Structure 1
């Protein structure tokens, strides 16, 4: 707090003529406390220090502090004087019209998108079992990383990310997902949303057409809209994105975004035949596929399918991944794997626009990967999530099989409960009622893309963070809302 600046502003705008220096200081501090400029808990400067800073007698400061204490605004203790008054919250005035309409057209176009609900409650999609994360081990790795940092590493790091982490991710992806890459193609981001924004800036121009699954992921839709791309929703059926010949002929895309391992929100898995067909057709159209490998680490039934990126030589695929779902969301580390032909240009773009930091976090994650902790954690979570998936499916089928069916339960951390009678059951209303009871169950109908209707009506149910013993009671509460 710059007290001299505070005093100068008050003397100009709030002081009355003829006030003494003592009263001027007292009134200035009282107004700052009442308005919250000096918040409750703030420790005021020592009287000698403040007197020297303001160029006034110390007695003037002692008088002001004494008056404030008498009025209950501050309380003295052995360490000095602390603000004790907490102003009541006042309603903010309605902003002037010029401020309400001051957002860009791009930003205003995002206003219609749904706001993410509270992410800690059942059945919020995409939330891992945070209580099962090996936090003690992670603290130890972080402490080791900080101890090993040099002074130079406190500066901005390489825009592409720490080389050690990029190398560890490349090794993991080659072994676990069949991705064909080296460390030079891996670029560290702040998570999937950051990766999507990067792809929108780097690989498309204003007005370019991007295909998305319909229904699809709202975060991707926000990224494309913010970049002023033309979004086309492509039908999703039980086998994932299903573009028609007419789609390719009438609306050929520049970008194709999809979540093939566990489609968001329906949970469909894109089969091998469709994957290969999509690569062939995208290559022929000169389109670039953005493969968001969402939930790929958790395959509960049957063998996992390799990533699109590695299915054919030189596939036109940008691969996105994140550690928010496998480890914890607050880590905020994701990555982009660019095709070898695009990696140099992307590296040059990042070096000019995106300095990177958080070296300690990245180095700790690299060690977590290299030393086998990541693989061990995934194995534990696969077992746990399978148990929780089984409990949820059993409860749903025993109580709601006559009104809804389960989709997308073979993989991932969420499933879709699709209503049989899409006209009678309003999934948006049921989702809203559930939220009032502390249950997050997003409506499938709210994930439409590109202005195209789709036939999915029901609820998304994330189960990774919900203990087995709670599944039955939560499903009973959902059943009561659905059968009203």
Structure 2
């Protein structure tokens, strides 16, 4: 194995002077070997004990690396051991170049109408999904960042800024994404938006015409469906299973898309992680048909087990992926700062269009956010929130075990919510209506589906904004609502 992946480097450091842990080195070496074909599909990996002895590292280092590869879908594990998954084969460089060239021609035609345009200098209810712990946000540190921005840059910041956003913030976001999320980008590719929703609308405006086909996860994020509907796109739902979006082979022929929306690191609302095999297949097929992928990194920063799931955008060079994110969950929703990372080939072509579509606002907040990130406050806040959300999720799991036993729970390795499936005979919408009367704001799983089926019946339960001490009582209220809808008067469980 050492001939394939090479020896690990004790004391290896990044260009920034940070030590690279052995387990991270091993994960990256194995991923590169699998993607390059040096470890082919079906190949058996050595036992953790044997590989640890060969590399001269602790067995725990190898176990952690194998667990991460398993989480991302690079390997399979069963009684026969750990084996390499079957991944989509990469297209040749020449074919990929031809596909990219054809796509760029088509995209240039899409932006032709902009060529002659002149240049222009939350909820407080308990168990709400998607709402962070606002009472734990470091307001004092944020206030200092705002004050520094006001002292150093006013009154200049009161005018319009660069349409794509403050250059310093774009560079700071790009640096964070490269390190934390594995995104291949620099500041020139980052466009600041008013939250992730505007980023989705921007993707629709830049990349589609009315009547184009767009694929969305089903059940999935309603904001993506809204953005596609506003663009008069033909929205086609794609079912989601435990490995993320499922695309039937005939769909590429029968309903070829222009846009594909997916949330690979943490699918909302099921919590599924899109396997690496499906990621590569989506990228390869999107290139073939001239489609663009929107990667929404929903809650990707809040991974609770193992290493964070790396971005799909950074999986292969020049992927046809637009990476979307925001600070609504990691900071606070009212900040209304999001971003989209454009493919490098699109940066020059979109310059004039962005000048017309955006106006470069919220400059004071953007400069303050730059200070907040560069001072290390953002990283420290993320670390605190990861620990807090792990504790609150555990409290929610314990409460669900008491009040809903047995229960099928989806998700849990990431984010700020769990999804509880209900029997098809119990209307999740009716349960939610009852719960909201008592300030319990769980959401109906069926409401996230374009084509609901029996398994799309359940409750999406947030824990980010609810202290651990209140979770058990709130889940008890949910259980009573379920039992009332089901027509049974018992205290526990599902009927």
Could you tell me which of 402, 412, 416 is aligned with 2:415?
412
Please say if 1:461 is aligned against 2:474: no
Residue of structure 2 in register with 1:442 after alignment: 443
Please say if 1:123 is aligned against 2:127: yes
Partner SS for 2:434? helix
Q: Does the aligned pair in 1 maintain the 2:445–2:460 contact within 8 Å?
A: yes
Task: Report the Cα distance in structure 2 between the residues aligned to 1:454 and 1:283, rounded to whole angstroms.
Answer: 34
Residue of structure 2 in register with 1:332 after alignment: 336
1:398, distance to aligned residue in structure 2 (A): 2.6
Task: Report the Cα distance in structure 1 between the residues aligned to 2:351 and 2:180, rounded to whole angstroms.
Answer: 25
Task: Report the Cα distance in structure 1 between the residues aligned to 2:482 and 2:463, rounded to whole angstroms.
Answer: 19
The structure-2 alpha-carbon separation of the partners of 1:342 and 1:453, relative to structure 1 and needing over 3 Å to count, comes to farther
Task: Report the Cα distance in structure 1 between the residues aligned to 2:357 and 2:412, rounded to whole angstroms.
Answer: 41
Residue of structure 2 in register with 1:276 after alignment: 280
1:150, distance to aligned residue in structure 2 (A): 4.3
Partner SS for 2:307? coil
Structure 2 gap segments, 5+ residues each: 1-121, 485-495
In the TM superposition, 1:232-271 aligns within 5 A as: 232-271=236-275
Q: CA RMSD in A?
A: 1.3
Q: Does the aligned pair in 2 maintain the 1:215–1:454 contact within 8 Å?
A: no
Count of residue pairs brought into register by the alignment: 363
Partner SS for 2:220? coil
Task: Report the Cα distance in structure 2 between the residues aligned to 1:376 and 1:264, rounded to whole angstroms.
Answer: 25
1:255, distance to aligned residue in structure 2 (A): 0.3
Please say if 1:343 is aligned against 2:347: yes
Residue of structure 2 in register with 1:178 after alignment: 182
Task: Report the Cα distance in structure 1 between the residues aligned to 2:256 and 2:207, rounded to whole angstroms.
Answer: 16
In the TM superposition, 1:78-93 aligns within 5 A as: none
Residue of structure 1 in register with 2:309 after alignment: 305
Task: Report the Cα distance in structure 2 between the residues aligned to 1:479 and 1:225, rounded to whole angstroms.
Answer: 35
Task: Report the Cα distance in structure 1 between the residues aligned to 2:398 and 2:275, rounded to whole angstroms.
Answer: 26
Could you tell me which of 392, 396, 400 is aligned with 1:392?
396
1:216, distance to aligned residue in structure 2 (A): 1.1
Task: Report the Cα distance in structure 2 between the residues aligned to 1:349 and 1:397, rounded to whole angstroms.
Answer: 52
Deviations 1:212-255 (A, max 9, x none): 00011111111110110000000011221111112222111110
Q: Does the aligned pair in 1 maintain the 2:446–2:452 contact within 8 Å?
A: no
Moved runs in structure 1, 4+ residues, more than 6 A?
A: none
Task: Report the Cα distance in structure 2 between the residues aligned to 1:408 and 1:346, rounded to whole angstroms.
Answer: 37
Residue of structure 1 in register with 2:318 after alignment: 314
Q: Does the aligned pair in 2 maintain the 1:262–1:295 contact within 8 Å?
A: yes
Could you tell me which of 361, 371, 381 is aligned with 1:357?
361
Deviations 1:364-413 (A, max 9, x none): 101111121111100000000000001101111232022x3111111111
Task: Report the Cα distance in structure 2 between the residues aligned to 1:328 and 1:135, rounded to whole angstroms.
Answer: 11
Residue of structure 1 in register with 2:98 after alignment: none
TM-score of the pair, normalised by structure 2? 0.72
Task: Report the Cα distance in structure 1 between the residues aligned to 2:188 and 2:351, rounded to whole angstroms.
Answer: 9
Q: Does the aligned pair in 2 maintain the 1:400–1:479 contact within 8 Å?
A: yes
Partner SS for 1:274? helix
Residue of structure 2 in register with 1:221 after alignment: 225
Task: Report the Cα distance in structure 1 between the residues aligned to 2:156 and 2:303, rounded to whole angstroms.
Answer: 42
1:359, distance to aligned residue in structure 2 (A): 1.6
Task: Report the Cα distance in structure 2 between the residues aligned to 1:280 and 1:305, rounded to whole angstroms.
Answer: 20
1:454, distance to aligned residue in structure 2 (A): 6.7
Structure 1 gap segments, 5+ residues each: 1-117
Q: Does the aligned pair in 1 maintain the 2:188–2:347 contact within 8 Å?
A: yes
1:453, distance to aligned residue in structure 2 (A): 4.5
Could you tell me which of 293, 318, 323 is aligned with 2:327?
323
Task: Report the Cα distance in structure 2 between the residues aligned to 1:351 and 1:299, rounded to whole angstroms.
Answer: 36
